[in-house]
Amino acid sequence: MNHFPAADPLGLDPAWVGAPPLIALEEALNHDLLASGLSRQEFIRRLLARVHHSSLIPLLWLLPRRWRLMPAELPESLRDLGVVLRDQLLSPLLLASLFDELGHLMPPPDRAQPSALELWRGGREALPATIAALLAEAEQASCRSVPPPTSPPTPPATPAGPGPTLVWHNTGLPAGPSPRQCQANRLLARVLNRLGARLAGPAPSSSEVAGRFEGCGTTAELFDRFQAGGWQLRARWRSSIASFGLGASLHLPERGWCQVALALPMRTGFLDAQGQERLTLLPHCALELELSRGDDQLLVQWYQGTEGLCGWEPLNDQPRPWQNDRANGTVRYADAIRSEPELARLARLTEVVALVHNRLASSRQLLLGGYGPLGLCIDSVALLQQALSGSCDHYPLLLHGIWRQYLLAESLAIEPRLAAESAALLAANRSYQQALEDLPIDLAHHGSERSNAWGRLRNTLPLVSPFALVQRIQADLEPDLETDLRPDPSRPGSAGSG
């Protein structure tokens, strides 16, 4: 087994086979620095200047330590955060504390920005009322789009001009979903959000905002109608290595465009047999919903996201075969949900959890729709799984005490509204309340909790990955972490040795 030092948590396995060619982040930075002729400080300053402001926070996290800028060199709004991230990797405990204090470390939200509830409702514009109309509108989007080239344009052998060739996007990859597919996924996500948002009441000046789809007024009814109409529905818990949408690539004269494998390293609080702290990579988790009938396929995902709401989003990711391929093992799947009763329960839970989270985020004016204080994508999906089945397979879970209390209070406050809607929704809310009580928390572990947490960590990471760290974790079959730390009787100086 390959052993990479903890200082290189994003190291790649040299035996990784797959297209396109990959390069590790630190290798890419070193190569580009040498080619630029700049000092390290000036090089990284220019490199970060080309990054969109919203991407700077994850970038501060994933950069190797010796490549991080001093807080004074960062934009003023990020300097307090830079103090936290300058010399250490994040841990679940530090990450939870950071998100709890995010309101003090970041500028207050722009009052002109829509609230989480407003984003969930999706505005007052008309949406298709049937699946046939939805697919027809998606087809029109395809016709309006310029056809993509049959192959990516060939970059120049040597990029023009001196300076860095590392760019913060993926250049040279095959095209992603077609315009028709993207629009169909986008419309379906908006339809599902609007159906759920009926529970929050109509938007101001519009009693028709919730609308109906295929004659259905709820997500559960719609799922049933889809299945009756010949659609195959499959819901699965999905996880993959997170990069918060960040991509990067580096042009090398002898190799062309190489893709930089990005991820966010994190401490775990677990020691290995050598007494070193184990590291992991932060996952992205979602509930993936796939609808298929004949040649038509629609893909959406549900989670608490940085988009500013808890709810459905289209699954229109930039294809990165080393990170998010649905077929090659870099996406981890569990527990396909297909039966009508389970899908109906799941549908009601997505509505209830989104209602509670978006109401609380709006009333307290939380940044990013509550992303962080109300949990990450991982926590929201774990809550769904916990409420549906009584257990969960996700790590790290960061939703902690005070925010669970706020969410529970919000859940209790909406009970009369849900009871008036249906007994099934009230039951879903009670299951959610129990999940808030029972959901594990990964701020620190001891005793038997360590083994459970380590099992969830392994179950969340992909089975196939170019990151050597992920491969090492998946190859560690030891179920009892205590055995890593027990003295070896044969070792000189150990208790019990001769």
H helices of 245-390, where? 340-363, 377-389
Residue 118 pLDDT:
95
| pTM recorded for the entire structure | 0.87
Q: How confident is the prediction for the chain on average, in pLDDT?
A: 84
**Cβ within 8 Å of residue 229, ≥6 positions away:** 131, 214, 293
Q: What DSSP character marks residue 244?
A: T
In the sheet that holds 249-252, the strands lie side by side as 22-24, 256-261, 249-252, 166-167
Label residue 156 by pLDDT band (50, 70, 90). very low
Band (155; pLDDT cuts 50, 70, 90) = very low
- Percent of the chain predicted with pLDDT > 70: 81
Residue 159: what pLDDT? Answer: 43
Count of CB atoms within 10 A of residue 10's CB?
24
CA separation for the pair 197, 218 (Å, rounded):
10
| pLDDT (mean) for 191-195 | 97
| pLDDT higher than 50, residue 152 | no
Q: What is the pLDDT of residue 454?
A: 93
In this structure, the dihedral spanned by the alpha carbons of residues 338, 340, 342 and 344, taken in order and rounded to 10 degrees, is: 120
Query: Higher model confidence: residue 81 or residue 401?
Result: 401
Taking alpha carbons only, the member of 90, 88, 89, 85 closest to residue 74 is 85
